[in-house]
Structure 1
Amino acid sequence: MSAAKVAPEVGTRIEWLAPLHEWGLDPGAVLDRIPSCATDFRPELRASGTPDSVDTYDLITLPYPTRFGLWRASMAPAPFVSITNRMLVVRWTELDGRRRTLLFEPSDVELGTNTPYFAALTKRTPSRLADLLIQRHDDVLTHLRSAGIDPAEVDYLVFDHLHTQDVRRWLGTTTPQPDLGAPVPLEPIFPNARLLVQRSELIALDHLHPQQRPWYQPDTYRDLRTEAIVPIDGDILLGPGVAIVATPGHTTGNQTLVLNTSSGIWASSENAIAAECLVPRYSKLPGVRRWSEQWQQGVVVNANTVETIAAQYNSLILERSIVDVCERDSRFPQFFPSSELTRRWTNPGTAPTFTHQRITHRGGAKGSA
């Protein structure tokens, strides 16, 4: 889908982080600017209020290469880690009384398996072994039913990036989809929802680099309803305590959900697979602390492609600079991996030192957003 065909933006532009996105800056210059930008942004986000609620729902636990998730730092013998992909449901009330519902990472897990990388992995994995390694939790629609949320109530769908995502069933299409058994255009399951995505991520779908191709399903975006796609250029404040921040690196158009809650500020993305990757000095994962100290690396990125890894490093530093520390253990930041490292007996040496597992928040406060 061409970015030129999409609908106009929503939300309020966040100016406090704009100095990080100035064209022509090298990664070192961006890194130097992060502390002051984060210092300016944090009080502004707090002043905007908090959402009414935040809830977490597990979707799938699956294997993921250790060399990607923990990049060069791990000395674990297991070639794979386990990660749990989770959906966040965020609800807030606008100043005019309108209720908003946002789904963050509402992955259509069934269609996600068609992603070239995972399709190839599945093909060479015996089904009995796959059943052992993969744990499917409830799907998006089952979770919403249990929460009493009608799909028609959902306003926004947000992913940190479009790796593995096929959203045709969620947003509907303008043409038949034979591979889904649809001889006519698909009606949207979320008829009032709009996909908020960085414009650069949409552009990438039209011009994928060979390093990127194994992780995307670009053909699934060609026939989507264009009115359901909203491009974002940078950082926006969507509602009280709800922001989307551009965090390029894991992909060109990576973005982070940032939330101000009753337990402080959180950030969620897949730039890292564990909170300890943002503070590797506290990690007990084999090799991580030593690697960080040896190479003076302040964070451990989740890098399945490496074309923009310096930008991803900076984005993780930004996320760490924005969030508060965890109430349960102040060593670890309130960075919530959208796919979090999960202990699994099949993967020795990859048990996380610390996990968040969920964000739960109640009690909104209206601000100036």
Structure 2
Amino acid sequence: MRFPWSSADVVDLPGIGTPIDTLTLPTDADGGPGTRLRLLREQGSAFRREFPSTGMPDSVTTCDLITLPYPTRFGLFRASLALAPFLSITNRMLVIRWTESDGTPRVLLFEPSDHELGRYTPYFDNLTQRTPKLVQRQMVREHGTVLGHLASLGIAPDAVDYLMFDHLHTQDLRRWVGTTGYQNDLGAHPKPSFPNAKVIVQRDELAGMAELHPLQRPWYQPATYRDVPPEAFLPIDGSVLLGPGVAVVKTPGHVFGNQSLLVNTSTGIWASSENVIAAEALTPEHSELPGLASWARSWQQEVVLNANTIETTADQYNSIVLEKTLIDHSQRDGRFLQFFPSSELTASWTNPGTAPTFAHRQLTHG
């Protein structure tokens, strides 16, 4: 099924943010993937020095949504020696608040997944149908909902300005941004839960979603976008500064239009995305997970990808190295970096050999 818009429909939609000239993403014209990796390290180091001068957001808060199973062969690509075919990941939302120079307050929700509807993503829907209910109850734990967390934080839905995901895999946005027509599966014509919010997305992901490639189809829900108006989105091209200490960095590879959140906090700079599922995947030499350190040495690779899709593997590798270059070391354990996976590896008795050596569990500031 095609999406309700063509690639031409998203060209003229207004964008947002101030372009980050330091991060220009090398192209094939600059050389091969090895050359592009070197250039990204140089760009990342330069922006790492610039970014703190932009300030800090007022606050960053972590909200746990759901813990669910995920294939080990995807999450710890080729590196894990664990016997467990599945590991557990916890999806978390970040709530970022800042104040514009003119005094305007802003609220950004990063990874506000509607996990009740996300379960109908083709891959996870097929997995659910093959998994006995008893096993599902042992492996899936719901922690809270997007609207429930916002209520506990005292944030009204109409105060939310922006919704953002590292990419739109599994995302069903209908209840968040509304639709132009009645939805048979929901039994309603949903009004937007966030009437003033726009979805920040890379323009080339929107264009790519207009006609999915077979590699992409298991991870998107095209039918759910049939009545979502294109103007619900704020497309961006590349890396942009959104506010003081809040930036979007384009990190292609996991999907063509992948993007990462970068925030400057009281403990230094953090990045968040789903490019990897554990902080130790950025420094596998310090991992105690079976196989990771030896695999990294044997293959001379410095990161372990999250590879449920391999749209452009070398680009994803390079993007993770860029993230490494931009962020600080953890104050809790300096062997690991302040990378906060949007879906973080979580220990579970059902998945022996997959307990993380180190986990952030939350990102808190302000």
CA distance in 1, matches of 2:322, 2:27: 12
Q: Percent identity?
A: 61
Unaligned ranges ≥5, structure 1: 363-369
Indicate if the aligned counterparts of 1:3 and 1:231 stay in contact, CA closer than 8 A: no
User: 1:355 Cα shift?
Assistant: 0.3
1:281 aligns to 2:285 (yes or no): yes
Aligned to 1:328: 332
For the residues of structure 1 that align with 2:71 and 2:217, how far apart are their CA atoms? 17
Name 2:249's counterpart in structure 1: 245
AA of the residue aligned to 1:181 = G
Matched position secondary structure for 1:347: coil
Matches within 5 A, 1:73-84: 73-84=79-90
Judged with a 3 Å threshold, the aligned counterparts in structure 2 of structure 1 residues 23 and 239 are, in CA distance, closer, same or farther, namely farther
Q: Look up the match of 1:102.
A: 108
1:42-191 alignment to 2 at 5 Å?
A: 42-182=48-188, 184=189, 186-191=190-195
Q: Say if 2:208 is the partner of 1:204.
A: yes
- Give the residue type in structure 1 aligned to 2:248: I
1:351 has 2:366 as partner: no
Question: SS of the residue aligned with 2:124?
Answer: helix
User: Cα gap change, 1:104/1:279 in structure 2, threshold over 3 Å: closer, same or farther?
Assistant: same
**Secondary structure at 2:340's aligned position in 1?**
strand
**Which stretch has the larger CA shift, 66-75 or 14-23?**
14-23
Residue 3 of structure 1: CA displacement?
A: 4.4
* Structure-2 separation of matches of 1:53 and 1:152: 18
- Offset of residue 25 of structure 1: 4.3
Partner residue in 2 for 1:236: 240
CA shift for structure 1 position 222:
2.7
Question: How much has 1:287 moved relative to structure 2?
Answer: 0.5
8 Å Cα contact 2:20-2:241 kept in structure 1: yes
Matches of 2:30 and 2:139, distance apart in 1? 44
Structure 2 unmatched ranges of 5 or more: none
* 3-state secondary structure, aligned to 2:185: helix
How far apart are residue 227 of structure 1 and its match?
Answer: 2.3
Work out whether 1:307 is the aligned partner of 2:302.
Answer: no
The 5 A counterparts of 1:264-275 are 264-275=268-279
The question of whether the paired residues in 2 share the 8 Å contact of 1:157 and 1:194 is answered with yes
Query: How far apart are the structure 1 equivalents of 2:31 and 2:232?
Result: 33
Pairing 1:213–2:217 present: yes
Q: Do the aligned residues in 1 keep the contact of 2:30 with 2:36 (CA within 8 Å)? A: no
Alpha-carbon distance in structure 2 between the residues aligned to 1:25 and 1:142: 48
Using the alignment, how far apart are the partners of 1:78 and 1:174 within structure 2? Answer: 44
1:103-148 deviations in Å (ceiling 9; x for gaps): 0000000000000000000001111110110000110000000000
Q: Which whole-Å deviations, capped at 9, do the CAs of 1:227-252 have from their partners, x for residues lacking one? A: 22111110000000000000001111
Question: Does the 8 A contact of 1:247 with 1:315 survive in 2?
Answer: yes
Q: Which residue number in structure 2 is paired with residue 366 of structure 1?
A: none
Structure 1 21/11 Cα, relative in aligned 2: closer, same or farther at 3 Å? farther
Residue by residue over 1:210-263, the C-alpha shift from the partner in whole angstroms, topping out at 9 and shown as x without a partner, is 111111112212321332211111000000000000000111111000000111
- Aligned CA RMSD, in angstroms, stands at 1.2
Which of 39, 47, 52 aligns to 2:45? It is 39
CA distance in 2, matches of 1:25, 1:223: 41
Deviation at 1:2, TM superposition (A): 3.2
121 and 245 in structure 1: CA distance in 2 versus 1, 3 angstrom threshold: same
User: SS state of the match for residue 26, structure 2?
Assistant: helix
Letter in 2 for 1:43: R
Contact 1:276 1:332 in 2 (8 A): yes
Q: Distance in 2 between matches of 1:76 and 1:209?
A: 31
Residue deviations 1:324-361 (CA, integer Å, cap 9, x gap):
00000011010000000000000000000000001100
Partner letter of residue 180 of structure 1?
Answer: L
The code of the aligned residue for 2:284 comes to P
- C-alpha distance in 2, partners of 1:300/1:291? 9
Matched-pair contact (CA < 8 Å) for 2:48–2:325: no
Normalising by structure 1, what TM-score? 0.95
CA distance 1:59–1:19, change in 2 (3 Å)? closer
User: Partners of 1:259 and 1:240 in 2: how far apart?
Assistant: 9
